Amino acid sequence: MVVLAGCGGESARTPSATTPPARAAEHPALCGSLRAAVTGRIAAAAATELSGLALSQTQPRVLWTHNDSGDRARVLAVTTTGRLLADVAVTGAENVDWEDIAIGPAPGRGDALYIADTGDNLARRREVVVYRVPEPRVGGGGPHASAPAARLGLRYSTGAQDAEALLVDPSSGALVVVTKSFGGDAGVYVAARPVAGATTVLRRRGRLSLGAGEAVTAGDVSADGRTIVLRTYDRAFVWRRRGREPLATALRRRPCAAGEQLLMEGQGEALALTPDGRAFYTVPEGSRPAIRRHAPAGRVGVR
């Protein structure tokens, strides 16, 4: 069962059981039958508990990833076949509980990495953080480079939450954090204009329930802005965005489920969409984790 609702003052409609399905033109390609292909394994000793994944939009076949809590503040650049390209120290940052990574617009021009330090299993953190880092050029700074972070402090309007999914609007740069809940509704929280060096209030703009036990562990928005995916440990749920509507508005509609279960890959807390939103990569936790590319039959080998 999927339940979606809006809140926080915006107009919203909760779809009923009779809500008609999306028109064929809006049906995402990922909601048909999918095939998964292992494209490689990450052999880097540093990759032990990967909890986020993002595909570079300007550097072909480069994936950015990071470990969960317990590691130092760094991101790893790997190829889609798993070869380590760079181990980048994120200066001015701290890894309390990094849970997701996304690529979005940098101030001025270019792309930035957005690292979500939003994990809070006990719901005790008064403030969480997203670190914004200008996307490093791999090969330009050597295998052990560094990149400076801008600190975007965030505070939930409804009190502390645990969250593992970060979405960044590719057109506006707005941040959307989706909370993790095993037994209740997940909250959809938005910071439309986060400010570096300050604390911005994350306001709840919706809620969703993807079914019993379906806790959200990662998410992504395609570079063209048209496809949104949230994953749980065993499923991927897909939304089609209409124009430049707010991401939270799109998430109020009923999603479709990707035509493949993900539980077989292991404990999965990472997902990265391709630019056109017609395929996605995943990687689980553990040593020598396998990178998988999930796509409709006939497209597995395409970026």
Q: Residue 57: pLDDT above 60?
A: yes
Which range, of 25-39, 126-140, 156-170, 235-249, averages the lowest pLDDT? 25-39
Residue 170 inside a domain? The answer is yes
Query: 12: pLDDT confidence band, cut at 50, 70 and 90?
Result: very low
Residue 164 inside a domain? The answer is yes
Residue 16 inside a domain? The answer is no
Query: 299: pLDDT confidence band, cut at 50, 70 and 90?
Result: low
What distance in Å separates the CA atoms of residue 186 and residue 161, rounded to the nearest whole number? Answer: 10
Taking each continuous run of H as one helix and of E as one strand, the counts in the chain are: 1, 22
Domain range for residue 39?
Answer: 3-9+26-296
- What's the burial of 21, exposed, middle or buried (CB within 10 Å: 0-12/13-18/19+)? exposed
Q: What is the mean pLDDT of the chain?
A: 89
Which range, of 2-6, 41-45, 47-51, averages the lowest pLDDT? 2-6
Q: How far, in whole angstroms, is CA 161 from its chain's centroid?
A: 17
Q: Which two tokens stand for residue 179?
A: 């909370």
Q: Which has the higher per-residue pLDDT, 74 or 6? A: 74
Q: Which has the higher per-residue pLDDT, 145 or 179? A: 179
Query: 182: pLDDT confidence band, cut at 50, 70 and 90?
Result: confident
Residue 39 inside a domain? The answer is yes
pLDDT in tens, 116-158: 999 999 999 999 999 999 999 997 555 678 999 999 999 999 9
pLDDT in tens, 60-103: 999 999 999 989 999 999 999 999 999 999 999 999 999 999 99
Q: Residue 290: pLDDT above 80?
A: yes
Residue 46 inside a domain? The answer is yes
Q: Residue 37: enclosing H or E segment and its boundaries?
A: strand 34-41
Closest C-alpha to 117, from 52, 42, 40 = 52
Residue 124 inside a domain? The answer is yes
- The pTM score is 0.90
Longest dimension (CA), the chain: 56
Q: How far, in whole angstroms, is CA 268 from its chain's centroid?
A: 12
Question: Residue 113 maps to which CATH number?
Answer: 2.115.10
Residue 102 inside a domain? The answer is yes
Average pLDDT over residues 214-238: 96
Q: How far, in whole angstroms, is CA 62 from its chain's centroid?
A: 16
Average pLDDT over residues 200-215: 92
Residue 269 inside a domain? The answer is yes
Q: Residue 242: pLDDT above 90?
A: yes
Average pLDDT over residues 37-54: 95
* Residue 103 pLDDT: 98
Domain total in the chain: 1
Quickly list DSSP for 157-195. TTS---EEEEEE-TTT--EEEEE--SSSPEEEEEESS--
